[in-house]
Amino acid sequence: MLVILWDPDTLLHQTVELLGSKLIPALESPERLEAILKALRSSKYELRTIEFASPQDDRRITRLLEFTSATHSPDYLQHLRDIFQTWLDAGLIKQDGHVLPECFVYPTTTGKPLRPPKDPFARAGYYAFDMSSGIMSDSYKAIVASANLASEGTDMLAGFANLPNDIDTAVALCRPPGHHCDGQRAGGYCYINNAALAVSTWRSGHPEAKVGILDIDFHHGNGTQEIFYADPRVLYVSIHGEDEFPYYTGAADETGNGDAEGTNINLPLKVGSSIEEYLEKLDYGQQKLVDFNPDFLIISLGFDTFHSDPLGHFQIHTEDYEIISRTTRHALKGIPTLVLLEGGYVIDQLGANMLSFLKGWNSG
């Protein structure tokens, strides 16, 4: 049984980014999710609305914070919560403004440990790595709601949510996405790593479990790789654009550290690669996951692989997502699976692409 989860608060985040030399409305916009919701509401699939706890529901908030803190630094999480109000109180921004970084952390030879700047204006660059990580008045609500969907979906799959045990797939319509966040800083439209939170949620009941992560967003999930690079019980497999954003990670020779050597598999492809080339990489990644035999599978699903996506693409068309999901489902059937929404910016095709993916998954 497949369930699809969303939270209305994930539509609240609407910020700006510096793309090239222009300050523009961020391409990661509410319209992305609205397009997917419209398609799902006209389909056979049931949408379940999950509204995150009110501020008075301390137990749920504490639990989510505990699981998130397993892979995210407390000072970074506090920054996400407080920075907009801090700037507002300091007169650095108006209520309808956006927090954007100015100066980023850079290497030095002093040997001194890094620490957050005292100046709150500078702090935005300490906790971010690019200019697509803006924060506005309602961003934190959306960030937490998005993260909670990943945790709630995992609960359902793990049997923590007192729901029927026939749920084997949960699709969390996370927005903002998560795979670029490394637990220390935001970037690439990502603020909390939803995949990492899902792993922590699963491990709360299955501490020795093995987890597989298949990242099929166009961009390398640098954050997910960083968080699990030395974790031998997590296998991370990523198929992504070679030499594309975030530029400094994603090479095939990045294979894991220490006991985790071999549990990080990067499968870069040239921009514009054919669906045949893509499926060859996918088949290889699937086999690695089969060999790993995970207890829990996470798919970081990005539709920015679409042939006309403005932020990078392969020669993948709507019908190809059915093939991608069907072969993945067939190879890894029987493993509880959480699908997390990541990128994808051709708004008028997002709904059709999601329906194609779900059709393939159900037929696998």
Which whole-number Å values give the CA distances from 70 to 1, 65, 193, 203, 295, in the listed order? 30, 9, 11, 10, 20
Active-site hit among 98, 180, 220, 240 = 180
Using the structure block, give the residue that is written with the tokens 């798919």.
299
C-alpha radius of gyration, the chain, whole number = 19
313 is catalytic: no
Active site residues: 180
